Structure 1
Amino acid sequence: MHLYDALLMECDNLDIEVYEKDRMKNKGLYGDNVIWINKLLPSIIEKCCVLAEEIGHHHTTAGDIFDQSSIENRKQELKARGWAYERLIPLSKIIQAHKLHIVNRYEFADFLNVTEDFLDDALDWYKNKYGLCVSIDNFTICFEPLGVIEMFDWIETPKLKYGT
């Protein structure tokens, strides 16, 4: 099952109707438990990223925020995007990609089933949220440059005595 289908099922569980429409000026819109996705987006991966953001609006947005000249509306837009970034690219997936030896942006975006632009925006968002690095368990994720450092638990081994 593709991630887009999983998000559609999530919408169904949240009683959100989802429609793909052509002739839309925007990539997606959310209002009153209805999401519209631009049918002409070039890939299902891009539709997935847009759908996640629109679900983010369901969880984080109040009122009409269409006018982005308002600072409050821009803050709500950023909250919805942040929700989408954390939903599609949780920090645990960055660690998992490190463990799988994924080494470039294209492979990383492909592994996550997101667009490279969405990935870049998510990493910028995480950097703004946490600073240059964040530690989770035995790992430190650095956002600039992107990398994961794994810490080891040093266990002192008993010293062998020779000649006794």
Structure 2
Amino acid sequence: MAYDQLIMEYPHIKIIEKVLPKGLPGLYYDNVIEIDKFKHKYEKHCILAEELGHYETTYGDITELNDLRNVKLEQIARRWGYEKIVSFDKLIDCYEKGQTTLDEVCTNLEITPEYLKSVIDYFIEKYGLFKLHGEYRITFEPLNIKMIEKKKQSFD
């Protein structure tokens, strides 16, 4: 469902599932995204997010990864994908549904455990060990979400 919803958000991009060369899970070019048809649905969701990140953030041919600029552009696209499909609001939604284990979060978001681990590592790098988001404190290692208790003010 999440994979299909993400596809529907970009109706102007043609998504093609096909056999790709070994080691190439996905590819974006000219408003076309190719995804390896032999990947599991959750893997396809993760791959699609990154390829949409290329659509949203990069330009030109960045396939030559010996060029440091291309490596950085690849990283920017990957991180865009992380934030797109594993947002803080989506993590909080999992918590509110009682889905607190890593496996439950992965199932709800339709992502792989390896992808969730990469997202958590990125969040730690970007925010530190935790992030306050709305009325919640999201701790990244281990992943834990708690509602922040509001202190009552005394007007004595």
Q: Taking structure 1 as the reference length, what is the TM-score of the superposition?
A: 0.86
Q: What amino acid is the match of 2:60?
A: G
1:95 paired with 2:92, answer yes
Decide which of 34, 40, 43 is 2:32's aligned counterpart.
Answer: 34
Where structure 1 has 5 or more consecutive residues not aligned to the other structure, the ranges are: 159-164
Q: Which whole-Å deviations, capped at 9, do the CAs of 1:71-105 have from their partners, x for residues lacking one? A: 21111111111111111110112222222332321
> Residue 49 of structure 2 contacts residue 85 of structure 2 at CA under 8 Å; is this kept in 1?
yes
Deviation at 1:5, TM superposition (A): 1.5
1:8 is matched with: 7
Decide which of 131, 144, 147 is 1:147's aligned counterpart.
Answer: 144
> Residue 11 of structure 1 contacts residue 18 of structure 1 at CA under 8 Å; is this kept in 2?
no
2:107 is matched with: 110
Aligned-pair Cα RMSD in Å: 1.9
1:61 is matched with: 58
Where structure 2 has 5 or more consecutive residues not aligned to the other structure, the ranges are: none
> Residue 100 of structure 2 contacts residue 144 of structure 2 at CA under 8 Å; is this kept in 1?
no
2:67 is matched with: 70
Deviation at 1:156, TM superposition (A): 5.3
1:124 paired with 2:121, answer yes
Q: Which whole-Å deviations, capped at 9, do the CAs of 1:3-33 have from their partners, x for residues lacking one? A: 2222222231xx2111111143310000111
Secondary structure of 2:103's match? helix
Aligned length, in residue pairs: 155
Q: Taking structure 2 as the reference length, what is the TM-score of the superposition?
A: 0.90
> Residue 139 of structure 1 contacts residue 148 of structure 1 at CA under 8 Å; is this kept in 2?
yes
Q: Which whole-Å CA distance do the structure 2 matches of 1:156 and 1:131 have between them? A: 30
Q: Which whole-Å CA distance do the structure 1 matches of 2:2 and 2:147 have between them? A: 28
Q: Which whole-Å CA distance do the structure 2 matches of 1:78 and 1:137 have between them? A: 27
Q: What amino acid is the match of 1:38?
A: D
Q: What amino acid is the match of 1:145?
A: P
Q: Which whole-Å deviations, capped at 9, do the CAs of 1:19-60 have from their partners, x for residues lacking one? A: 11114331000011111111111x212111111111110001
Decide which of 40, 44, 49 is 2:41's aligned counterpart.
Answer: 44
Q: Percent identity?
A: 36
Q: What amino acid is the match of 1:90?
A: S
Q: Which whole-Å CA distance do the structure 1 matches of 2:142 and 2:8 have between them? A: 36
